[in-house]
Amino acid sequence: MDQNELEQKHRNERKELQAKIQGIKKAAPKGDKKRKKEATEEIARLEAELDQRHQAELEANEAAVPLDAAQNEVATEEMLGGLDINEESGDKPQKLSKAQKRRNKKAQEEKEKVERIAIAEKDNVNSARNIENKQFACITSKRNLQIKQIPSDGHCLYNAVVHQLSLQGIEEKMELVRQKVSDHMKCNIDEFLCFLTKPDTGDMLTPDEYEKYCDDVANTADWGGHHEMKAITEVYKKPIEVLQAEGPLLKMGEEFKGHPIMLSYHHHAYGLGEHYNSVMEREKKLAEDET
């Protein structure tokens, strides 16, 4: 790839990451120190991963292109550096050229980088995330299911529900699902208010605070959880089943009949904490590939 094209690609990816970071920041509830810390850690991880990938792509691109004038100059410098023109022959050690020193330094840095990556990958084998993924792989395989990945942007519960509804022939927009959940919770305050508390004090929300909570459900990227899932079952008159890596299958809205909305709850998928994906029947080709 041309160097200018690669640099433009990197600029575009950085813009996309900044947009994602803004979504992560907005999704962290105000006053929730735990979520704020997790959001900061997730942002740092994403930025580090992008920097590392960009650096690797730049190095690979440089290695793939022909020598330009500057590189030819360096090559010539290296060649001349090996010639002892001004010194008489003797037992003195040969002095390294500046170009050779740069090459040696770069090689050492690359070696250290590879070693760091290897150590990180070794440590990551037994990470909570990998263990959770293996547990889900076992659960879904036994039930002939597969997980549909949903972006982690604060809207994961609602987007997972949108995907599930589409599998049942119901086309909804994520924003509409949020609005319907918000309206339902406002109309059924006695059913939900008593279970909602302030994260900093544990006190029950006031009616005004509850009203704001419902408004945030409709208008922000706040996470959805147990209460919002309960509202979803009542809005769409459908049961919900939630697969968990640890613990039994969670069922909600069992009073409703029909095909359930199937989700998976991931506690360690991302640094931000809880995350929901959509669960569907395993595709035939995928199942055949594993047999």
Contacting residues for 258 by C-beta, under 8 A, at least 6 apart:
237, 238, 239
pLDDT of amino acid 226:
93
| Domain assignment of residue 71, yes or no | no
Do 116 and 166 share a domain, yes or no? no
| Domain assignment of residue 213, yes or no | yes
Do 103 and 168 share a domain, yes or no? no
Do 185 and 149 share a domain, yes or no? yes
Name the residue range of residue 163's domain: 145-290
* C-alpha R_g of the chain: 27
pLDDT (tens place) for every residue of the chain, 291 residues total: 676 777 777 777 887 777 777 777 777 777 777 777 777 777 777 777 777 777 777 767 666 644 444 444 444 454 444 444 344 444 555 677 777 777 778 778 777 766 665 565 555 666 777 888 889 999 999 999 999 999 988 899 999 999 999 999 999 999 999 999 999 999 999 999 999 998 888 899 999 999 999 999 999 999 899 999 999 999 999 999 999 998 899 999 999 999 999 999 998 776 556 899 999 998 765 444 554
Closest by CA to 243, choosing from 136, 159, 142, is 136
Task: Tell the residue number behind the tokens 């059924």, with chain if given.
Answer: 188
Number of domains forming the structure of the chain? 2
pLDDT of amino acid 24:
76
What secondary structure letter does DSSP report for 146?
A: E
Do 177 and 255 share a domain, yes or no? yes
The burial of 273, by beta-carbon neighbours within 10 Å (0-12 exposed, 13-18 middle, 19 or more buried), is given as middle
Do 107 and 149 share a domain, yes or no? no
pLDDT of amino acid 225:
92
Do 273 and 155 share a domain, yes or no? yes
Contacting residues for 68 by C-beta, under 8 A, at least 6 apart:
none
Task: Tell the residue number behind the tokens 């020193």, with chain if given.
Answer: 101
Do 37 and 166 share a domain, yes or no? no
CATH number at residue 212: 3.90.70.80
| Domain assignment of residue 69, yes or no | no
The residue out of 89, 124, 159 marking a domain boundary is 124
Do 203 and 275 share a domain, yes or no? yes
Q: What b-and-e string marks burial along 31-53, b requiring 16 or more CB atoms within 10 Å of the CB? A: eeeebeebbeebbeebeeeeeee
Do 188 and 260 share a domain, yes or no? yes
> How many whole angstroms separate alpha carbon 253 and alpha carbon 251?
7
Do 268 and 169 share a domain, yes or no? yes
| Domain assignment of residue 227, yes or no | yes
The pairing of strands 145-148 and 240-244 is: unpaired
| Domain assignment of residue 255, yes or no | yes
Do 153 and 37 share a domain, yes or no? no
| Domain assignment of residue 86, yes or no | no
Do 149 and 281 share a domain, yes or no? yes
| Domain assignment of residue 149, yes or no | yes
| Domain assignment of residue 91, yes or no | no
pTM: 0.58
Enzyme catalytic residues: 153, 156, 275
pLDDT of amino acid 54:
75
> How many whole angstroms separate alpha carbon 115 and alpha carbon 122?
11
Q: What b-and-e string marks burial along 139-162, b requiring 16 or more CB atoms within 10 Å of the CB? A: bbeeeebbbbebebebbbbbbbbb
Instruction: Quote the tokens at residue 72.
Output: 């030819």
